[in-house]
Amino acid sequence: MDEKRYSAKFRAVDTLLIIMMILPILFGITLYVLCTPESSGIEIAGARIYFTIPMPLQPLPITESQVNSWLVIISVFFLCLYLTHGLSADHPTKRQHIVEWGLEQTQNLVGDNMGEYFKDFAPFVAAIMVLSALSSLLTLVGLYPPTSDLNVVGGWAILVFILITYYKFKCGPVHYLKSYTEPVAFLTPLNVISEFATPVSMAFRHYGNILSGSVISVLVAAALQGLSAMIFGRLPGFLGQFPFLQIGIPAVLSVYFDIFSGLLQAFIFAMLTMLYVASGFPEEDYREKLRKKAANAAR
């Protein structure tokens, strides 16, 4: 009897977590429908501004990309609760095997690209990939993808730049400034430009690929609509207004631009994060610094 109660309670919690995963997306769809004005054709525009908050320097706009980002974060939070619900060392569930496999793959990815020192970076890298991928996949339900907003992706790139600078400072400010003069001193201006170009290139690469895919899909859909009207417009009744050429072709484009490209860009952004952080960290010099510090303390 206790086992049945536990099983019923377990399923009830699972159902609740699944509902809480879906609710943020449904809320986003409802908000989009209520706030979208009627349009006579296909439009290409940026993130919609829902409202602004007065601030001392300038008003803070709350945009569609910000709201959708938080909806994705909430959905990911409940997804994590669902995947980790009922973990057991004696009787692992199928979802536990999936979680353990994903965790193992992420740890191997971090270990292969960043080394043993950064083994604790796995949760951060996994969070980047999941957040980026799900943000891009919002287009499948008709919502504006936050990865199409340069402000959102630029914020991620700035966070990565802060991490890069932090690990470069591990050996002290003198060592950090000296790194700009390597391999030769006259390349210092180029090294400085390259340093600040890193977050810019990361942001524009991710933003540009996602946005261009959305724009191309919309343009192709509009072109197919016009071509369909030109070819089949003389058919009688509703057949002359039905967009025959829009059946199937936009879906094929969606498979590439919305799914494949979105997942690929999430993986590339995570890979660049790992490579930039690991390559900027002078691990040998840092360990030598620790050895000297320990030797001085022993004296």
Q: State the pTM of this model.
A: 0.83
Q: pLDDT of 257-291, one tens digit each?
A: 778 888 889 999 999 999 999 888 888 878 888 78
Q: pLDDT of 195-219, one tens digit each?
A: 889 889 999 988 888 888 777 777 7
| First-to-last C-alpha distance (Å) of the chain | 67
For 141, 218, 261, 266, the CA distances from 25, given in Å and listed in that order, are: 8, 22, 21, 20
| Cα–Cα distance measured from residue 136 to residue 128, given in angstroms and rounded to the nearest whole number | 12
